[in-house]
């Protein structure tokens, strides 16, 4: 043809203005699923930042839009991304284990941003959310989805009560005689362990001597066991009775830290009772947090919160 025109054929080898072919880009993306960004960069002979940008572009294409489908029961928690109180909020589909969404920070506004992406119909389908007693998350749910049942987690409650036990232990040690201090000394981790996890006979004998010696410490250990029993109830009426009994006993101990915890139990009682209808917990997120730590150690560029979020969502995608 002698038309004088210049014709450019799309060979589909590369994206316009990109420095690598589509095939190489896809190859890098697949490698980044199993190797560190640095390892992939070394393998293909590119700068690690270039590899990260290629990986991120493919992630945006595949996971850039939040998938709000089939959400009824959720779990929410925060994960530390760097030292110095840098957190991100993680929202998990409780029934499938899929990480649905991540947002920078752990404020009420952070969690509210998750709900802003949902339609009214999608919000209406939500039934329950497992979380710890973090007021900003509670505020977000009550503001954006007030019909959703908030369920407080036993794991976090026991973790917080362990801090109370340790406070009592320190105070009792400071008041004790020289001979009694020898028994209380070295008992910190014995008191924090579950009884079934204490295997050594020496440790069992040490704990028995301590509980026989100190009535206050003995009472808080009884409270610790009774606390777990509350979460075993499947009837709200019985759970309510157990909470009442627990708080009465806690106040009888006469220690300010124990009484303060009992008052907190009263304030968050609704989320404990909701566990009777929705026996869910956030321990499922502990596995997520552990996997996130592994990904964080293996990868580079995670000062980019968006890239970090996409990598986590990819790691927990279903199918």
Task: Please say if the pLDDT value at position 17 is more than 50.
Answer: no
244 in a domain, yes or no?
A: yes
Task: Give the number of other CB atoms < 10 A from CB of residue 165.
Answer: 21
Domain termination site, one of 63, 85, 116: 63
pLDDT band at 161 (very low <50, low <70, confident <90, very high): very high
- What pLDDT is recorded for position 13? 47
147 shares a domain with 289: yes
Least confident stretch, 175-179, 228-232, 292-296: 292-296
- pLDDT tens track for 273-283: 999 999 998 87
The yes-or-no verdict on residue 57 having pLDDT over 80 is yes
Per-residue burial over 36-72, b = 16 or more CB atoms within 10 Å of its CB, e = otherwise: bbeebbeeeebebeebbbbbbbbbeeebeeeebeebe
Q: Which of 192-196, 200-204, 238-242 has maximum average pLDDT?
A: 238-242
Section 34-44 average pLDDT: 91
Instruction: Count up the domains in the chain and report the number.
Output: 3
Residue 30 vs residue 302, higher pLDDT? 30
Same domain, 103 and 8: no
What integer is the mean pLDDT of 245-258?
96
Q: How confident is the model at residue 288 (pLDDT cuts 50, 70, 90)?
A: confident
The SS3 of residue 131 is strand
Q: 148: domain CATH number?
A: 3.30.420.10
- Could you tell me which residues are beta bridge partners of residue 91? 76, 101
pLDDT given for residue 113 in this prediction: 96
88 & 109 share domain: yes
Higher pLDDT, residue 295 or 190: 190
Q: Identify the residue with better confidence: 188 or 18.
A: 188
Cα–Cα distance, 54 to 66 (Å, whole number): 20
Question: Span 108-137, mean pLDDT?
Answer: 96
Largest CA distance in the chain: 107
In this prediction, residue 86 carries a pLDDT of: 78
Res 85: pLDDT: 62
pLDDT at 84: 58
| Least confidently predicted of 4-13, 103-112, 126-135, 220-229 | 4-13
In terms of residue numbers, what domain contains 105?
Answer: 73-153+281-303+310-315
Question: What's the confidence (pLDDT) of residue 34?
Answer: 87
Q: What is the mean pLDDT of residues 220-241?
A: 93
For residues 207-221, average pLDDT: 95
| CA-to-CA dists, residue 14 to 19, 27, 122, 248, angstroms | 8, 13, 38, 71
Sign of CA dihedral 264, 266, 267, 272: positive
Beta bridge partners of 73: 128
Arithmetic mean of pLDDT, 116-139:
96
Same domain, 287 and 270: no
pLDDT of residue 289: 79
- What pLDDT was estimated at residue 171? 96
Share of the chain above pLDDT 70, in %: 91
**Residue 240's pLDDT is what?**
96
- In this predicted structure, the answer to whether residue 244 has a pLDDT above a threshold of 80 is yes
Mean pLDDT of the chain: 89
Q: Kindly tell me if the per-residue pLDDT of 237 is higher than 70.
A: yes
Please check whether residues 159 and 268 belong to one and the same domain.
yes
Residue 68 is assigned to a structural domain of this protein: no
Q: Would residue 176 count as lying in a domain?
A: yes
Pick the last residue of a domain from 20, 39, 63.
63
């Amino acid at each position: 043809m002698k038309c004088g025109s210049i014709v450019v054929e799309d060979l589909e080898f590369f994206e316009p203005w990109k420095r690598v072919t589509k095939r190489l880009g896809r190859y890098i993306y697949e490698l980044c699923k199993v190797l560190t960004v640095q390892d992939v960069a070394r393998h293909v002979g590119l700068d690690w930042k270039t590899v990260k940008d290629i990986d991120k572009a493919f992630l945006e294409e595949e996971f850039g839009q939040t998938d709000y489908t089939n959400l009824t029961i959720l779990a929410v928690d925060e994960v530390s991304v760097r030292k110095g109180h840098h957190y991100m909020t993680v929202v998990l589909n409780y029934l499938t284990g899929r990480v649905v969404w991540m947002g920078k920070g752990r404020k009420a506004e952070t969690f509210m941003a998750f709900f802003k992406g949902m339609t009214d119909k999608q919000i209406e389908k939500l039934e329950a959310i497992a979380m710890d007693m973090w007021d900003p998350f509670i505020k977000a749910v009550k503001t954006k989805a007030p019909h959703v049942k908030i369920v407080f987690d036993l794991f976090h409650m026991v973790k917080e009560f362990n801090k109370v036990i340790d406070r009592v232990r320190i105070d009792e040690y400071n008041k004790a005689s020289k001979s009694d201090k020898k028994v209380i000394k070295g008992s910190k981790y014995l008191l924090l362990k579950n009884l079934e996890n204490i295997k050594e006979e020496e440790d069992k004998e040490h704990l028995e001597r301590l509980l026989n010696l100190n009535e206050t410490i003995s009472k808080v250990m009884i409270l610790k066991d009774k606390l777990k029993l509350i979460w075993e109830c499947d009837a709200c009426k019985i759970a309510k009775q157990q909470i009442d009994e627990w708080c009465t006993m806690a106040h009888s101990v006469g220690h300010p830290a124990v009484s303060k915890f009992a008052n907190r139990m009263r304030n968050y009682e609704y989320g404990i009772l909701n566990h009777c209808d929705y026996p869910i917990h956030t321990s499922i997120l502990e596995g997520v947090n552990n996997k996130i730590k592994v990904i964080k150690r293996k990868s580079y560029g995670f000062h980019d919160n968006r890239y970090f979020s996409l990598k986590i969502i990819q790691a927990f995608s279903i199918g």
